[in-house]
Amino acid sequence: MATIRRVVAGHNSTGKSVVSSDEQIAGAEVPGLAGFEILDIWGSNKTHQYPDDGTKPAYSAFFAPVGGYRFMICVIPPDPEIGEVTDGDTRSDAADLEKTEAAFPGLLETFDPAIPGMHRSATVDLIYVMEGRCELELDDGVRVKLAAGDTFIESGTMHAWRNPYGVQCKIIAAIIGAELAKDA
């Protein structure tokens, strides 16, 4: 599992800036998807307010509601070879689905069961590719090739992450709750 250092600034009782926490946090592998990992760094279900004590806000749903946000790192492993079956087989069984729902509540309900990996969330996702390469596949079959240093704004579209490049890809995602336009 990947780990990163998370340093959080907050305010003391007199309103002065302080480092309220400085810790290593670890990612969690998505059950049934060998090598696909998510590091949940920070988030909130509502507009952040300060001054605060720097405590991580409580939230349970994977995706942020309108007014909320999430900040995370995702590790996208290389796609398995066609027909390859390993201990981390990407075909999920019922136990994996239950584990995924427990670890990442609401994530699975965004997926189209007919198309592996294809999903849509009511969010705008601000993506930065930290390392490696990957492809973002849209529901019309178009694949957008992304490499380290590229950015992508994903605005509530049906999409899937693919990695046909043989090495893992790491992306940073700031996910902001959004709603469908009334005239759409």
The phi-psi region of residue 164 (left if phi > 0; otherwise alpha if psi is between -120 and 50; otherwise beta) is alpha
Query: Model pTM?
Result: 0.87
**pLDDT given for residue 184 in this prediction:** 64
β-bridge partners, 37: 29, 75
**pLDDT given for residue 88 in this prediction:** 43
Tens digit of pLDDT for each residue in 91-140?
A: 457 888 899 999 999 999 999 989 989 999 999 999 999 999 999 999 99
CA distances from 34 to 77, 102, 124 (A): 8, 17, 26
Enter the tokens of residue 152.
């992508």
Mean pLDDT of 41-68: 92
**pLDDT given for residue 135 in this prediction:** 97
Tens digit of pLDDT for each residue in 127-183?
A: 999 999 999 999 999 999 999 999 999 999 999 999 999 999 999 999 999 998 887
**pLDDT given for residue 86 in this prediction:** 45
Buried b (16+ CB within 10 A) or exposed e, 148-182: eeeebebebeebbbbbebeebbbbbbbbbbbeeee
**pLDDT given for residue 83 in this prediction:** 41
Q: Is the pLDDT of residue 90 over 60?
A: no
Q: Domains of the chain, with CATH numbers?
A: 27-177 (2.60.120.10)
Closest by Cα among 146, 147, 161 to 76: 161
**pLDDT given for residue 150 in this prediction:** 98
β-bridge partners, 162: 135
- The three-state (H, E, C) secondary structure of the chain, written as one string: CCEEEEEEEEECCCCCEEEEEEEEEECEECCCCCCCEEEEEEEECCCCCCCCCCCCCCCCCCCCCECCEEEEEEEECCCCCCCCCCCCCCCCCHHHHHHHHHHCCCCHHHECCCCCCCECCCEEEEEEEEECEEEEEECCCCEEEEECCCEEEEECCCEEEECCCCCCEEEEEEEEECCCCCCC
**pLDDT given for residue 92 in this prediction:** 57
